[in-house]
Homo-oligomer: A and B are copies of this chain.
Amino acid sequence: MLNNFFYPQSLALIGASESKGKVGHAVIKNIIDFGFPGKIYPVNPKAEKIMGISAYPSIEDIQESIDLCIMIIPPQAVLEAIEQCGKAGIHSIVIISAGFKETGTEGAKLEYDLINRAKKWNMRIIGPNCVGIVNTSARLNATFSANIPPKGDISIVSQSGAILTSIIDYAAGENTGFSKMISLGNEADITETEVLEFLGDDPDTNVIAGYIEGVKNGLEFVSVTKEVSKRKPIIILKSGNSNAGARAVSSHTGTLAGTEKAFKAAFIKSSIIRAGSIEELLGYAKSFSYQPIPEGDRLAIITNAGGPGILAADACDMSTIKMASFSNDTIKRLRESLPPLCSIYNPVDVVGDADVKRFSIALKTVAEDRGVDGLLVILTPQEMTDAKGTAQAVVDTFHEYGKTTFTSFMGKVSVKEGADFLDKNRIPNIFFPEKAVRCFEIMAQYKRGLERSSDEESSFPINKVKARDTIDNHLKRRIFTLGYEESKDIILSYDFPIPKSAVAQNTDEAVFYSGEIGYPVAMKIVSPDILHKTDVGGVVTRLKDRDEVRNAFEKMMSTVKRYMPNAFISGVSIQEMITDGKEVIIGFTRDQSFGPMLMFGMGGIYVEALKDVSFRLCPLNRFDADSMISEIKSFPLLKGIRGEKECDLRSLHDAIIKFSYLSIDFPEIIEGEINPLIVRPKGNGVIAIDSRFRLKEEI
């Protein structure tokens, strides 16, 4: 528990200083100026008093119990200070001092020692190399930033001190309220995940914002944030995406997956709201802080000018937000109560000469409509405009109907009084209507995320024991690359239908099996040494009769042997040809941090050339499977075009879910792929045509 960090009764500052310009001075001054109500013990061997408070030469000279210790001393002195704190029974330390891991090998060594020392004393540390922490709820400002935003219910955590400082400065200007602000520094001990978990339980925090560049443990991060975001929204700005780069792995899945993809998948899994910039981070946080989460995604726009109304409608059109369509009753009432020039459909245009009364009628009528989940009120300064009065009408309507409300009072100078009134009454007033629409969209998306189907596992007739046997068998024989023949028992065990097939050793067997299976058939070389069968002439399809089978068999044998004379060939597989359906690929790789990640895409060029794929972290539920399928651009092909029948999407969901279970059940599978998986027309299921797995070599 991090309670002592944020709600201390007493604190010590090692390195507090009387000299202006020193960090040790700035921090103690901020603590005093911000009105910290607990006891403060400055520690400085060279001073009697600091800022009028008795100073102590060392920690051991303080004979009182201390909840929190803040260190602003040279890095070399930190180890000794830790030791002293340990002896004094202090368990919560914020190390602002820099000069550790971030400076190179020597600093890293120092940080390593520091952590070991702290562990010995059962001590928790924020930092080092951080800006400090703020808790407005406890009147604690243990940072060197003097301009702290007012008290509020947003808490923010940052892996960059500079970004946190900028945000503090910006938010102070914007008057947005915050509860806790935490600079994580080097995360030698306490990580972003632990702080997010703490904020999830913190009653003073309703909205969590964060700036992160990476996470220490992906699986832990996902499991914690997934739970927290059910209780309160987490909005994160993640940077470093451009450094992702392409990993040079041979399989499709590996080639396309990467750190950025894993983060994207992790955020989806955790229902984390992703901000694209600092501005979005703060804008979204403020929206959630000020307004209730909307019941749905239907927005009504009320404006006193056409242009901005159109801009807002355009923004809805380009987003996932729906323009609310009013009930007949609403339209009737608007028609009766507004002048004829007004537009009574959405956007409602009360036109330029609208006074407060007209705005008010429109507001209440629209807010009462059950088909409206949120309101955006646009006001441009015109002749008759009463910005303050209209602001009052907006606030009244909000209090009466409780619908999520945004405003765009489009002026800086002339509407200031109204705008300030709105802000004071927690209506987010955003100059640009497009941005207000975006904030509403984010809130509606969060709501949808909360509603998404529960994570209950689907149940399938999976034979884990048989799959285990197959894998162990291969591992025992040191076979790590499994082609179709080697892996089909695994996918059969996971309830994947496969085409009828048999392995033929010679031409006669090939002809015999083809007759049993039924024409047309496909023929594929079986060899653990050949990964890309097509490239060596190892695949022939659409063989229509015995002659074609005979010829194909002989040709394949000679071609493959010419290309790969040393390959071990177990035979040739004769397969049933599936002549309907669409080819897709499902595969998984393991992200070092986030674990197994599933990829989905349409087969062939869609994956390779167009990179039209989607990723999710495993395991998946039906909601995940559905969203990852509809996310790809070529989704219409699965829905059916030109009057084609829709593909069996339900079975495709099942296939994706089962494959994700496989990745969880067998950590020794490094990567796996079913390619192609044919999704047949609705009602006819899927069928796995080819599969490949790679097993971990050291077991």
Contact = CB atoms under 8 A, between A and B. Distances in A.
Contact of A608 (B276, B412, B641): B641
Contact of A159 (B242, B276, B307, B318): B307
A170 B410 contact: yes
Contact of A213 (B310, B411, B414): B310
A699 interface: no
A639 to B, nearest CB: 9
Interface string A138-179: 000000100100000000001111110110011011100000
Interface stretch (A202-210, A429-437, A493-501, A662-670): A429-437
A307 B162 contact: yes
A382 B276 contact: no
Contacts of A295: none
A180 to B, nearest CB: 19
A414 B147 contact: yes
A317 B242 contact: yes
Interface in A312-367: 313-314, 316-318, 341, 352
A3 to B, nearest CB: 28
Nearest to A98: B352
Contact of A410 (B169, B307, B316, B412): B169
Interface in A468-525: none
- Number of this chain's copies in the complex: 2
A148 to B, nearest CB: 11
Contacts of A316: 242
A86 interface: no
A172 to B, nearest CB: 6
Contacts of A425: none
Interface in A243-279: 243, 276-279
Contact of A434 (B147, B277, B412, B413): B277
A380 B432 contact: no
A103 interface: yes
Interface string A403-415: 0000000111111
Interface stretch (A42-50, A550-558, A630-638): A630-638
Nearest to A22: B383
Contact of A162 (B26, B158, B305, B605): B305
A432 B277 contact: yes
Interface string A595-628: 0000000000100111000000000000000000
Contacts of A412: 169-170, 172-174
A160 B307 contact: yes
B310 A413 contact: no
Nearest to A384: B21
Contacts of A166: 308, 380-381, 410-411
Nearest to A637: B609
Interface string A296-314: 0000000011111011011
A53 to B, nearest CB: 23
A66 interface: no
Given A162-B304, A170-B411, 4 more contacts: A26-B383, A162-B352, A166-B381, A609-B636
> What are the 4 tightest A-B residue pairs by CB atom distance, in nearest-first order?
A160-B307, A162-B305, A173-B412, A242-B317
